[in-house]
Structure 1
Amino acid sequence: MHAMSQPAPTPVFSISPVVLPAPGRAVDLQVRVSAPVTGSSLPIILLSHGLGFSHHLSSLNGYAPLANYWAAHGFAVIQPTHLDSRTLSHNPAVNPGGGYDPRHWRTRAEDMSRILDQLDVLEAAVPQLAGRLAPEKVAVAGHSMGGHTASLLLGTRLTDPHDGTLMNLTDPRIKAGLLLAATGRGGDAVTPTAAENYPFLTTTDFSAMAAPALVVVGDKDNSAFLTVAGPDWHADPYHLAPGPKSLLTLYGAEHGLGGVSGYDVAETTDENPNRVATIAQLTSAYLRSQLHPGDSAWQTALDAMTAEPDPPGHIDSK
């Protein structure tokens, strides 16, 4: 994709771990903050990691190709290490049973709201950020299981498999979202293995996910261990939620979307730096236009992609 009318990239600083006190959580909440070294009123992107096979990328140390790009283009990116991160799996306080705790669908979303509750603590801990955040301009992004987390914060409902409660974890402070290779609908679309290990996926309901979001999918992302519905399953948050939504379908992309989870990651089955650059540019443009009404970055990006002789994908909107 050709360079679009985005601001020139600025140098980025990244600090981790910043520790936010978290009473009642198994361990305090550790986050990485990446931001441009200059600029004020920085819009915020909360970035939720997936689960993945790597030992370290499912944490505040993942997703550098996106976090660095977004920060270089004017966003403050905040990445928590969720309790289901492999980096915590050896910690008996977090993982007493040794296996995956399916209740972390909830603690993941709560992590993000907790960060927004403590932006002042974050600014105090990172002097380079003091007075530079725009708490009224917040977006959430997530890849894979992180996309599920992001969708909950944007309005997706589910039934708690433990007690049958209909859960609403929507955070109205979050104004827009990016769902990257996110999970889709529940019911008979979910495989028996996924229903057993991730029972919360079986009751996903996107019908109340009203916040604006860009859903990014790969047309070769089968995720056969999670769904019987094929690559289209990942587009459910677009098709089954009310507008305004946009859907970016990337040709040839698999679950790693070209390598968004980290630089040169072994489990990226479709490594493609150009694809990652396309995602970084389009997501940045989308959030600029969502968080700064009147900003034409998104329309400019759409026009640029449409004009390409061999575009990397296509975009639908509603």
Structure 2
Amino acid sequence: MDDTFGSESGSRGADGQEPVGAPGAVVSVKPVVLRAPGRGVDLQVRVSAPAIGGDLPVIVFSHGFGWSMNGYAPLADFWAAQGFVVVQPTHLDSRTLGLPAEDPRTPRIWRYRIEDLTRVLDGLDVLEAAVPGLSGRVDGSRVAVAGHSWGAQTASALLGARVLDADGVAGEDLSDHRVTAGVLLALTGLGDDLTPFAVENLPFMRPSFDGMTAPALIVAGDSDRSPLSTRGPDWFTDPYTHSPGSKSLLTLFGAEHSLGGIPGYEVAETTDESPARVALIQRLSTAFLRSALHPEDASWQAAVSALEEEPSPLGKLASKSDQDGHGRGGR
């Protein structure tokens, strides 16, 4: 089988066609600073964009716990080379900021994270102007959010996920109409299965996905066992199972929380390094985002059809539509 879905050496997609275009030159600028009154420190952002081209869609990416705008090069660089403007804010929990646990902002960091993404959307014009040659080339009407782990939870709020209080009542709706779709990587599941530590210390980890209606690609590893949950890896499939609307679930075989190494190349946190697995995420997420932000683009439909015809040894894909209310697939 000569394809990048099942082989590290393949150069073509599972449908026999190039699933993404040849990578283009990328311009990356950091730090771009957005004023953030009341946050304690202004928001630092990295912006990566194709060197040429216009009408560029935007991906706002939220990093996992402790990371920063400097991480996730396997995704950010790839997406930018494929024609997206990728914006990566540094959240307050980043190790680069050294916020002490006793800082009064700590209990609300999950909210500051969401506000960071909203602030990025509010400041797209500032970010565009900060990158040489980018002005006038960004299409601010086509925006997606993405994130990994805690970053996926952060991004999910802009797609309509809400936090339940102690009585099970959904909190404030923090969704943003400017966001069209999302890619949610290793997004944690329902709060009914938290460990005692998580229940006591992480009360914001009680999501409701009932309102997460926006289209999303959810990526989970079938070997991802969280110390915060009493369940196994299927916990990470909850966002797909319990959300309405058009959703797709990519389950990666043998993948742990880093999903093969998306935070970076050869980083210590990656215990399941797999270039082939990362390549699958790169290509499928790009096809999904292109189709979600360009309704006339058939990249995603082609990728799904190809996997139906020739299943990948790296993972399986399930999907459901607005009308389904349930998954199909299991390939």
The question of a shared fold, defined as TM-score above 0.5 by the shorter chain, is answered with yes
What displacement does 1:147 show? 0.7
Range with greater deviation from structure 2 (102-111 or 252-261):
102-111
1:271–1:156: structure 2 CA closer, same or farther, 3 Å change rule?
same
Q: Which residue of 1 aligns with 2:188?
A: 183
In the alignment, the residues of structure 2 paired with residue 252 and residue 206 of structure 1 have an alpha-carbon distance, to the nearest angstrom, of: 26
Q: Which residue of 2 aligns with 1:85?
A: 94
SS in 2 for 1:210: coil
What displacement does 1:124 show? 2.1
What is the RMSD of the two structures over their aligned residues, measured on CA atoms? 1.8
In the alignment, the residues of structure 2 paired with residue 108 and residue 89 of structure 1 have an alpha-carbon distance, to the nearest angstrom, of: 16
Matched, 1:199 2:185: no
SS in 2 for 1:139: strand
In the alignment, the residues of structure 2 paired with residue 229 and residue 138 of structure 1 have an alpha-carbon distance, to the nearest angstrom, of: 33
Are 2:114 and 2:154, in contact at CA under 8 Å, matched by a contact in 1? yes
In the alignment, the residues of structure 2 paired with residue 169 and residue 303 of structure 1 have an alpha-carbon distance, to the nearest angstrom, of: 34
CA deviation digits over 1:127-183, x for unaligned, max 9? 32111111110000000000100111100111467xx88221111100000110011
Range with greater deviation from structure 2 (230-239 or 125-134):
125-134
Gaps of 5+ in 1: 53-57
Are 1:102 and 1:200, in contact at CA under 8 Å, matched by a contact in 2? no
Matched, 1:50 2:64: yes
Task: Decide which of 75, 80, 84 is 1:71's aligned counterpart.
Answer: 80
1:100–1:248: structure 2 CA closer, same or farther, 3 Å change rule?
farther
Q: Which residue of 2 aligns with 1:158?
A: 163
1:306–1:99: structure 2 CA closer, same or farther, 3 Å change rule?
farther
In the alignment, the residues of structure 1 paired with residue 170 and residue 61 of structure 2 have an alpha-carbon distance, to the nearest angstrom, of: 27
CA deviation digits over 1:92-147, x for unaligned, max 9? xxx47259923111111111111111111112222321111111100000000001
CA deviation digits over 1:186-235, x for unaligned, max 9? 12x1111112221111x311001111101000011011x11112111111
Are 1:84 and 1:100, in contact at CA under 8 Å, matched by a contact in 2? no
SS in 2 for 1:282: helix
TM-score by length of 1: 0.91
CA deviation digits over 1:9-66, x for unaligned, max 9? 10111111001111121111100011110111111000000015xxxxx000000000
Task: Decide which of 39, 43, 47 is 1:33's aligned counterpart.
Answer: 47
Are 1:305 and 1:311, in contact at CA under 8 Å, matched by a contact in 2? no
Are 2:43 and 2:89, in contact at CA under 8 Å, matched by a contact in 1? yes
Identity fraction in percent: 58
1:131–1:310: structure 2 CA closer, same or farther, 3 Å change rule?
closer
Q: Which amino acid aligns with 2:271?
A: T
| Runs of 4+ in structure 1 over 6 Å off | none
In the alignment, the residues of structure 1 paired with residue 258 and residue 156 of structure 2 have an alpha-carbon distance, to the nearest angstrom, of: 19
In the alignment, the residues of structure 2 paired with residue 265 and residue 96 of structure 1 have an alpha-carbon distance, to the nearest angstrom, of: 24
Q: Which amino acid aligns with 1:198?
A: L
Q: Which residue of 2 aligns with 1:115?
A: 120
Are 2:28 and 2:131, in contact at CA under 8 Å, matched by a contact in 1? no
Gaps of 5+ in 2: 6-11, 321-331
Matched, 1:226 2:233: no
Q: Which residue of 2 aligns with 1:148?
A: 153
1:6–1:96: structure 2 CA closer, same or farther, 3 Å change rule?
closer
What displacement does 1:304 show? 3.1
Are 1:9 and 1:73, in contact at CA under 8 Å, matched by a contact in 2? yes
Are 1:51 and 1:145, in contact at CA under 8 Å, matched by a contact in 2? yes
Q: Which amino acid aligns with 2:290?
A: R
SS in 2 for 1:281: helix
In the alignment, the residues of structure 2 paired with residue 18 and residue 133 of structure 1 have an alpha-carbon distance, to the nearest angstrom, of: 16
Q: Which residue of 2 aligns with 1:105?
A: 110
